[in-house]
Amino acid sequence: MFAVLCYSPFKMLCFIVLLLSFSSSSSDNPIQAKRYTVNLDLPPEQRWLDIAKEYKEHGRQIVDVLKSMLPPKVFPLLEQLALFADNHFPAPYPDEMRGYAKGFNISLADMILCNILYDLTAYCTSIVAQDKDGNVYHARNLDYGHAAYLRKTTYMVDFQSKGNTVYSGTAFSGQVGLATAQRPNAVTITIDERDQGNFIENLMMFILDKKALPSMFAVRNVVAADNMDFNQAVKYLSEVHLDADVYYIVGGVKAGEGAVITRDKLKAVNVWKLDAPQRWFLVETNYDHWTTPPTSDDRRDPAIHALNKTGQANVDLIALYKVLSISPVLNNSTVYTTVMQAKDGSAFNTWVRQP
């Protein structure tokens, strides 16, 4: 059954329509992700304890799954990184990771692994699109090799201060950074993996470059910043030093505020922006947009075809959800789908997919 959480009668009606439209055409059984609150007014070590305790039974399993993907010689490097976490990670991330690790009953080195491996190995599809009235919409699928397990540990989180939501995101348990995030009335951001270099090379570069951040921490830095807007977000995400090459997909509030930032570890290689009416949508999977995706993993062209068939006059979050639900854009590795709109913070929503 399609679980729905909306914030207005209009959105409730929209997603009921979405439910009905997929009851006969979709082969998966999407379930709305659980939603939690992180209280930013608490000390960092206490912010994630409630969530960590709820997912504690998965903590050791998560680490074991991640470690199974890596050669053993990586683990001493992670332990060394944990010893110098306060020097390498900016506040509040070291203390938040310590608190989460305590709740999980795992080491800080294992918690660091949870926060730097996800964003180096996920395969995704992100879309930012603009309708004819200048409204910008943003949606994404996150795909991962251990999808069946990660679906159990996917949730939404609202980061609040004084009872008000400052920003929101979708995460796997163990993460304090964000690969999918929104700051209402400011910006939306997703990360897609860019496959450049192997994990050990990336980890060594990360350790040596004291300015480098995990790409998910950079996203959280953006949505946590006061007075943030689209242009500031694009500038920061184009310049910040990172642990690995990624694609940042960014949406804003105003017409034309949509971009795909192709990144290496030190800077932006390319910034590709909306330019309606000719270029009213951008589709990013895991390949440079100026190249041809491999036939073995071409999610880009089916998404482009579906968007062109939809048309700019009909694009909205429901339309983007439908595009992200066609095969092979939706596939056996798809963990979740998120839809969001910076202009309407209440639109942020995530469904765990089960194709």
pLDDT of residue 6: 42
Number of continuous H segments (helices) and E segments (strands) in the chain: 13, 14
On whether the pTM is more than 0.85, the answer is: yes
The whole-number pLDDT of residue 16 equals: 43
Where does the chain show beta strands of DSSP type E? 31-32, 34-39, 123-130, 136-143, 154-161, 164-172, 180-183, 187-193, 246-251, 258-263, 268-273, 281-284, 334-340, 349-352
pLDDT at residue 1 in the model:
34
Mean pLDDT by 10 residues, the chain (355 residues): 40 49 61 98 97 90 84 87 93 97 94 80 90 98 90 96 98 96 98 83 83 95 98 98 95 98 96 97 98 97 98 98 97 97 96 94
Distance CA 320, CA 191 (A): 17
> Could you say which of 6, 14, 114, 124 is catalytic?
124
* 104 closest CA partner among 52, 45, 65: 52
> Are 234 and 218 a contacting pair, CB within 8 Å?
no
Per-residue pLDDT at 72 = 86
Peptide bond into 92 cis (omega under 30): yes
Annotated active-site residue 6? The verdict is: no
Phi, psi (5° rounding) for residue 103? Answer: -65, -35
